[in-house]
Amino acid sequence: MASLKVLNYELSPAPATIFGCLLPAPWMGMATGLLLAFGPQQGLPERFSPLVLALTHCLVLGMLAPIMLGALFQLMPVVAGQAVTGARRMAPFVALGSALIAAALTLGFLWGRTTGFATAIVLATLLYGAVIVALLVTACKVVVVDTTTRSLRWIAWALLLVVALGISLAGNFAGWWQLDVMYVLDLHVGWGLVGWIAALVLGVASTTVPMFWQTRRPSAHWQKVLPGVLWLALLPAFLPALQPYALLFACSLIFIIASLSLKAISQARRRFDPAWSLWLVCAGSYMAAALLAAVPTAQRLVSGFVFSSIALPDFVSQALPWWTGILVLVGGAVLPVNAMLGKIIPFLVFLHLRRQTPMGQRVPTMQVVLPPQRLLWQARMVLLAFALLLLLPLAPAWLTTAAGLVFSLSQGYLGSLLIICLLRYRHELKAVLLAQ
């Protein structure tokens, strides 16, 4: 069993730095749901339909990116003891800039405007370029002792690769240059879903899940190899001939890691917590996604070896990318992000009030700042949205609007809960200042 981690809460950034990244994000999730419900649905749920491409980038850039960068701004000093250079100056632009990039790409995907792709390139280069440089400079000082610190030490390189590949594709769509779109796209998707999202979720969860949900702490073997083994599995994908084998190897690793995670989460002491089920479904989602992602590649490899064509039914071939994407982006990213926001925001409110309140005065607990019953309703809503999204390929005409509206409602409700937390923080802080 790994030794207990010492967290440097006294180095925690100012509330505005973290809140500015985290609080706007659920509202972009709400906007993504509305886009699904009322956007042009031609081709849905086909992987390359304009709406699917727009939705993917609205969710990943508009909602998930600000939360993940805000988490890095928080964890670098608290876990690794190194404050991110310039985080306070960059934080106000992270959520707004990410939303603008997502909007520009949506303009390009839905209406074919090359100016949308060009605008996204400029904004992404400026915003994410500055963030990546700051993270790389800070990461050089991080001492690796476990999975979380290893993630903090190397995750900026994965983000750099994902952004560079995305800019390359956007430049192609803007007409600036020509490249092998499918080759670059496979790398962009692989490194985005596994090298960036899954690796960071794994790194953060290795510290926060034992802390908030009281699971067993990860073993020493877990702490030594993760998430580095995921990045190593993706490196051969740069060679076209090895891409299928790299994908199968990565899928195998994800399935094993998710299986171990599912076992640990199922044995958590705080199974009564409203967000516990979100982590349970998250682990199951990665297991299912790993199996589904491996199916087309395994099919092609087997067909090549036996010199016969093994074809999947058209419906399954069309639905597989949608199911895989929903399992990873919603089940494997939105669900744990929702679970963490429902914990970390009340915890930060409590932490900063405790630091600013004179000794002897009571500070509202996390459960008072954000009552568990409200989190339970939010968890139920987002799980319902997740189920509807998975069912969508069965009846797109009937389920698209419903799935979009329920997802939008779940994220809007979460956003309103976080605003209530912020208002409670200001109210309590004002009372403290007036008492002085």
CA atoms within 13 A on the CB side of 84: 31
Say what the pLDDT of residue 414 is.
Answer: 98
The SS3 call for residue 45 is coil
Q: pTM to 2 decimals?
A: 0.95
**CB atoms near residue 432 (< 10 Å):** 15
Residues in contact with 414: Cβ distance below 8 Å, sequence separation at least 6, in sequence order: 26, 29, 338, 341, 342, 378, 382
CA-CA distance, 248 to 76, in Å (whole number)?
32
Question: Which of 230, 233, 155 is CA-nearest to residue 196?
Answer: 155
What's the CA gap between 108 and 35, in Å, rounded?
A: 15
Looking at residue 191, its pLDDT comes to: 98
Assigned token pair, 107: 């303009």
CA distance 185 to 79: 34
Amino acid at 141: K
Instruction: Determine the Cα–Cα distance for residues 291 and 116; give it in Å rounded to an integer.
Output: 35
Q: C-alpha distances in angstroms, 242 versus 186, 187, 193?
A: 12, 12, 19
Q: Determine contact, residues 242/236, Cβ cutoff 8 Å.
A: yes
Structure tokens at 85: 């250079």
Measured in whole angstroms, how far is the alpha carbon of residue 24 from the centre of its chain?
15
Amino acid at 335: L
Q: Is the dihedral of CA 244, 247, 251, 257 positive or negative?
A: positive
For 396, other C-beta atoms within 10 Å of its C-beta total: 17
Is the bond preceding 364 in cis, omega lying within 30 degrees of 0? no
Phi, psi of 358 (to 5 degrees): -60, 150
pLDDT digit string, tens, across residues 292-350:
999 988 887 776 655 455 677 888 889 999 999 999 999 999 999 999 999 999 999 99
**DSSP assigned state of 49:** S
Helices (H), 330-395: 335-356, 366-369, 372-391
Residues 296, 248: Cα–Cα separation, whole Å: 10
**Helices marked H in 307-334:** 314-326
Q: How many residues does the chain have?
A: 436
Q: Token pair 């419906």 is at which residue? A: 315
Q: Across the 436 residues of the chain, what is the mean pLDDT of every consecutive 10-residue run?
A: 68 93 97 97 94 98 98 96 96 98 98 97 98 98 96 98 98 97 97 98 96 94 96 97 95 97 97 96 98 89 61 85 98 98 94 84 88 97 98 96 98 97 90 68
